[in-house]
Structure 1
Amino acid sequence: MVDSMSTPPPRAANDLFLDSLDTHPLWFKPNLFLSPTLDTESYISELRTFVPFDTLRTELQAHLASLSHELIDLINRDYADFVNLSTKLVDVDAAVVRMRAPLLELREKIEGFRGSLEGSLVALRNGLQQRSEAAAAREVLELLLDTFHVVSKVEKLIKELPSVPADWSNGDLSSTIKNAMSNGTSLQPVESGTNLRETQSMLLERIASEMNRLKFYMAHTQNLSFIVNMEKRIQSASLLLDASLGHENAIYDCLRAYAAIDNTKSAEEIFRTTIVAPLICKIFPHGPSGMVAGVSGDGLENDYHQIKQCIQKDCKFLLEISSAENSGLHVFDFLANSILKEVLSAIQKGKPGAFSPGRPTEFLMNYKSSLDFLAQLEGYCPSRSSVAKFRGEVVYAEFMKQWNIGVYFSLRFQEIAGALDSALAATSLVLVQNSHSGHGNLQDLSLKQSATLLESLRSCWREDVHILSCSDKFLRLSLQLLARYSNWLSSGLAGWKTSNAASHSGYEWAVSAVPDDFVYIIHDITYLATEVCGGYLDHVLQCLSSCSPDILDLVKQSILQGGKSLNDLAPLAINAIIELLVDKAVEVSSVKSD
């Protein structure tokens, strides 16, 4: 038997109070040693981060002793079976040899079967790859054959095209039919030149369709020697088609052909140079210097009126064709790339001064006329999406860039704000002369400074000054004018009795003010506040009537606040009058007492 005296070393005194020998600290978990994935080094390293090395070593030795003690107990308990175990393991090597033979034989069969299966799989994959390559080669060959047939067909159709003349006014109908038949063209007898022209247009559309099909084939057969060798023939056919379309008098009938070959830019350019340019040239007859010959001034309103008439008379038919529903011609934008482009070019060459904001009044008239012209063009758009497309064109953006609204507003700002600053810079209050100014009831105001404020406020929203796109800037300017006037009055009234007002430029008027002046001020403040919150506010809201209700409400609140700031000045003026009268009374009483 195993020596039972090999007991573990005695445990510490503290262990005597534990429930059993298997009690361990909470950080020590013996069950982890039974895990097949236990990494002892990682486990010990992790414990050493918070357990002293001596404590860890003691605990491990104690656990080892406990395991040894448990093993000895198991051996002693089943000692007979432990001894008989060695006697039962007899001739184990022979048994292993007998078992190994069939296993080796089975392994050889499996490896042979696997080799055969891998060979079949490789052969199958090679066959599938060859089949795929053959299918791809066949597809390419079919594309090449189709490409060759399409090129030959296009060349044949182009050769037949000259047999149908574009202009039938001087042509011989019978000779044309005879030529067409001699060239193998299946042309049916017709009774008029219009039918023959339609036949030619149909032939052009057919050629264009084949060219579009040819582009598709070329996109899928790039870098092939066969296609490279045919590039010259394809380019030649494309050039001949473009030339035929460009010389076709019936431009309207060629739109489908241009759309089919995705060459809308050429059609738009031909329409611009052939139809639009001669019409615009009559309206803007350029001289040698490029300016409009025999015309003085840069006004555009009359020019736009003539352009609108020309569009209605000579271009409406094409515009209706290109915008017709389900016509397939929506890819064209003759409004922007033909008409607007030519108009912009004519104005830039003939009347460049029309875009100059240096003359604000003429600039505004031309700008509003231009917006009206653009609105007229948008009237030819059949839907909102076409309007959005028109506005998204490059030439539309280029046209709008010509109008420098920022510079225009800066000039108006200097003009309007400068007038008020000049009036407020006076060293004394100036009474208004009893003369009608033509801008409303300005004669009802007593002081020139107040009249200038009201006139400046109204100038911001006059029809010949205001621009809707700058409404936010003009509103800010209006509020700034009110604030400037209120600050001028409040600062003067607050310091009229001291030397503070005299030390600031623009407030000297308060030092020499008399009671009558403050009466004028109270009258003007009351009148201005009533006008700003009444008729003036209504006029501003009318100018902005196209804005949303939320925006109109914000505008209303801001102007009412400006009017309130004027009303708040009235008590200051009244107090000034009271103090002046008191001072006068004191002076009089002092003189009498003397």
Structure 2
Amino acid sequence: MSGDTAKPLTLPSGPATLCFDKDDFMKNTFNVDTFVMDCRRCVPLETLRDDLHIYLKILRSAMIELINKDYADFVNLSTNLVGMDKAINNLTEPLGQFKEEVLCVTSAMDNAIEAVEEKLNQRQKIKDKKACLQGLINIVQSVEKIEKLLGLTHNMEPSSGARLNGQLIERVATEFNKLQFYVTKSRGLPLVEEVKPRIASITSTLQYSLEGSFLEGLDNNNVDILRQCLRTYALIDKIKDAEALFRKHVARPFMEEVITEDFLRTSHQGLKGMYIKILEFVPKHCHILKDITSSSTSGDVVRGYDFIVNSVLPEIVCNIEARTPSIFAPGNPNLFHEKYTISMDFMSKFEQQCGSQASVKRLREHSSYQVFMSRWSLPVYFQIRFQEIAGAFENSLLSGLNNAPDGSDMYLHASFHLWESICHCWQPDVYLPTLMHRFLKLNLQLLSRYSSWIDEIYQKENQKSSNTNILKNERASTPASNNNSSSNNKQNGLEQNNQTSTSCESEPITLGQILCLLADAEKTSERIFPMFEKDIRPKLESIGYQNIDLIKDAFNDSQTNVLCNVPKFQNSVIQELTCQCSVHLKQVADIPRLFRRTNREVPTKTSSYTTGLFKPLNMFFSEHKAILSESRKQAIAKQVLENLAQQYYTSTSDVLTSVKKMEDSLKRLKKARGTGVSTGLPGMTDDDKIRQQLIIDIEHYAQQVESFGFDSKTLHGCTQLSALCEEARIAMTNPNPSSSSSSALTPKPAS
């Protein structure tokens, strides 16, 4: 067949209107279901079917063209394959021989590779044995060399008499370091076990010489000897031995002399004096070692040592724990706070004696430092403070609404103790930075307890008021027939009522106490954030706390809780004052009785009840002017006057309605009798006198409202009363009967 068989098969092109791509059929990932689903998103199934039929016709046409094009090849295909079987059989035998030859070569190569690998393994073993043998030779040579330098034989015991000089020690240390390396590599071999006693003898002699030279250098302050000894210790990887030697021979005698209970008792500065003495140790005994190991100005620095952290600190902590454990006792919180503060100040100064920040970090991570910090029973200290602060505040709540001590700017004993308790948490002799979170929580708990206490008072008073109202309703609803019961039952009932009233009615809270509570609650809320900025924020910043706004939000919530009951208490004050003042409004209903069929003169003065209407309010303001703020006074007065105006309007409206009904009834009666209504008679009717009296009283009420500093026109109740006045004037049949009645427009107070 003509054509290149390697050329990829391409499908014939179709119309551009087809809803699919013809190349999708040639993809290896072609799937019928996926293909149909993709096409359905674009066209209906009918369209897809039609397009597929169109393309099928195109494919058939293309196939026919292809067959026609290569028709001769298709016809001659069977002819071209004649003799192909014989040709294939002729190739089979040569290919079999070639395969056998390849297998022989492969086998020979595998045998050669195995032989080479075996030789290489043998060679590696020989090399390892030679290295091991060389290591053992090096060990023996090093041991003999060191023994020769030290003047030892393998039969001698470790010498403890003579010490080596500095240069010889350094030579021995260098060789000893090599010996340790060789021994580590040859560990477990029999020869190493044989020379271990000799190595131990060398180690003892070397350490004895090093210790002697090191202590001699410390005694004489010989920098060269100390540097050489420290370098040697570092060379043989015995840094901890040098630090332990310094701790044992230098730090321990000093600390055992200073850190004692006797020193605490005899020193006029007590614990502080002991710490001062301890702090003198580093500059006095460690300055040379500190210079050599950190910032030497004359010679190389010997790295890897930290005598302050690894020698001095453990000895200090060990002696404090063992010899002066009394400083950790938390029983007396004031004494504990003093000792803890002094100890933390000592530790801060001790950190300053470290040579670098890295040394400070090592100190804080040292186990002795952790032990020292954990010995302070801070949770116990806080629990004692909690009982002391919260207990005193809780006891003050039990006293109820007693007055605060003289000289306090609070009015109630509980409020005074609340603020004292909050401030006490941040006193320098109470607060500890490590207990910051606990004191913050205690502050919030105190404010929460104060809020709940105020709420409890309100709930109790509210319950008492409800019980009183229920008792009044029960007494009012008791039928009169019960009074005719037997004397025995009556006496029993009276005794039972007396017991009930005695048990249910405790001493009620006064309006003055409520005002004191409101004033204290507002004063407490006003002080919270100044106290936060002054006392709490600096302490939070000093310990590196970042989310200060979260703490502030918590105090903001506490402030809201403290004030949440203030409006309720203020409303109860307003209701009580309204109730006291409104008692006099009952006399409004008696005005018609004073003028009907009494032949009284036209009223020119206010009624007697108006003089007592505002008396409870004025007395309240006069008695509590020291407690009441001007804003609260105005708020209470405005609401009381508004409530009174509403009740006054109701009472007056009822009277005028009654008068109107009576007047209409009389007119109908006269009309029925055939008697005309007289309109020309001089003087006022009784109904007009009643209206006139009410008008005078209402105008007097408006004047009293303005005397409190309010515009009567701005109060809804006063506006209603004014409208009622106008209605009464319009309803009067003879508003100006005589000249004497003109004075009614200017009300005079009742005598």
2:275 corresponds to: 304
Distance 1:310 1:414 in 2: 41
How far apart are 1:452 and its partner, in Å?
0.4
Q: 2:577 is matched with which residue: 557, 581, 585?
A: 581
How far apart are 1:323 and its partner, in Å?
2.8
Is the aligned partner of 1:479 residue 2:454?
Answer: no
2:126 corresponds to: 134
2:320 corresponds to: 347
2:259 corresponds to: 284
How far apart are 1:220 and its partner, in Å?
1.1
User: Compared with structure 1, are the counterparts of its residues 227 and 89 closer, same or farther at alpha carbon in structure 2 (3 Å cutoff)?
Assistant: closer
1:234 corresponds to: 199
TM-score by length of 2: 0.55
User: Compared with structure 1, are the counterparts of its residues 519 and 447 closer, same or farther at alpha carbon in structure 2 (3 Å cutoff)?
Assistant: same
Q: How is 1:523-542 mapped onto 2 (pairs within 5 angstroms)?
A: 523-535=519-531, 537-542=533-538
2:330 is paired with a residue whose SS is coil
Q: 1:413 is matched with which residue: 386, 391, 408?
A: 386
Q: How is 1:172-321 mapped onto 2 (pairs within 5 angstroms)?
A: 200-248=165-213, 249=215, 250-251=217-218, 252-253=226-227, 254-285=229-260, 295=266, 300-321=271-292
Is the aligned partner of 1:370 residue 2:353?
Answer: no
1:493–1:576 CA contact under 8 A, matched in 2:
no
- CA offsets per residue over residues 90-109 of structure 1, 9 Å max, x none? 9x89x97x988767765665
Q: Which has the higher mean CA deviation after the structures are superposed, 104-113 or 329-338?
A: 104-113
Is the aligned partner of 1:499 residue 2:464?
Answer: yes
User: Compared with structure 1, are the counterparts of its residues 234 and 89 closer, same or farther at alpha carbon in structure 2 (3 Å cutoff)?
Assistant: closer
Q: 1:324 is matched with which residue: 295, 298, 303?
A: 295
2:492 corresponds to: none
Q: Which has the higher mean CA deviation after the structures are superposed, 150-159 or 584-593?
A: 584-593
Distance 1:431 1:89 in 2: 126
Q: 1:159 is matched with which residue: 129, 151, 164?
A: 151
Distance 1:280 1:500 in 2: 73
1:545 is paired with a residue whose SS is helix
Distance 2:293 2:443 in 1: 47
How far apart are 1:585 and its partner, in Å?
3.7
1:525–1:569 CA contact under 8 A, matched in 2:
no
- CA offsets per residue over residues 369-426 of structure 1, 9 Å max, x none? 2222222222233333332222111111111111122222122111111111111122
How far apart are 1:586 and its partner, in Å?
5.3
- CA offsets per residue over residues 346-373 of structure 1, 9 Å max, x none? 2122221211222222222222222222
- CA offsets per residue over residues 269-304 of structure 1, 9 Å max, x none? 211121111221221246xxxx76865999532211
Distance 2:91 2:516 in 1: 129
1:432 corresponds to: 404
Larger Rg: 2
Amino acid at match of 2:290: L
Distance 2:560 2:386 in 1: 24
Q: What is the Cα-based RMSD across aligned positions, in Å? A: 4.0
1:429 is paired with a residue whose SS is coil
After the TM superposition, which parts of structure 1 deviate over 6 Å for at least 4 consecutive aligned residues?
A: 98-105, 160-166, 587-593
2:263–2:270 CA contact under 8 A, matched in 1:
no
1:514 corresponds to: 510
How far apart are 1:463 and its partner, in Å?
0.9
Distance 2:150 2:239 in 1: 20
Distance 1:162 1:89 in 2: 101
TM-score by length of 1: 0.68
1:557 corresponds to: 553
How far apart are 1:466 and its partner, in Å?
0.9
How far apart are 1:210 and its partner, in Å?
2.7
- CA offsets per residue over residues 424-466 of structure 1, 9 Å max, x none? 122x31212325xxxxxxx111211111001100111111111
- CA offsets per residue over residues 232-267 of structure 1, 9 Å max, x none? 111221122222223332254422222222222222
Distance 2:311 2:194 in 1: 38
- CA offsets per residue over residues 198-237 of structure 1, 9 Å max, x none? xx33433333333222222122112222212111111221
Distance 2:345 2:583 in 1: 69
Amino acid at match of 1:468: P
How far apart are 1:110 and its partner, in Å?
4.9
Amino acid at match of 1:345: C
2:309–2:359 CA contact under 8 A, matched in 1:
no
1:571 corresponds to: 567
User: Compared with structure 1, are the counterparts of its residues 518 and 214 closer, same or farther at alpha carbon in structure 2 (3 Å cutoff)?
Assistant: same
Determine what percentage of the aligned residue pairs are the same residue.
27
User: Compared with structure 1, are the counterparts of its residues 565 and 447 closer, same or farther at alpha carbon in structure 2 (3 Å cutoff)?
Assistant: same
2:264–2:271 CA contact under 8 A, matched in 1:
no
1:498 is paired with a residue whose SS is helix
1:18 corresponds to: none
- CA offsets per residue over residues 123-162 of structure 1, 9 Å max, x none? 3223322322222222222222222222223223333999
User: Compared with structure 1, are the counterparts of its residues 570 and 131 closer, same or farther at alpha carbon in structure 2 (3 Å cutoff)?
Assistant: same
1:399 corresponds to: 372
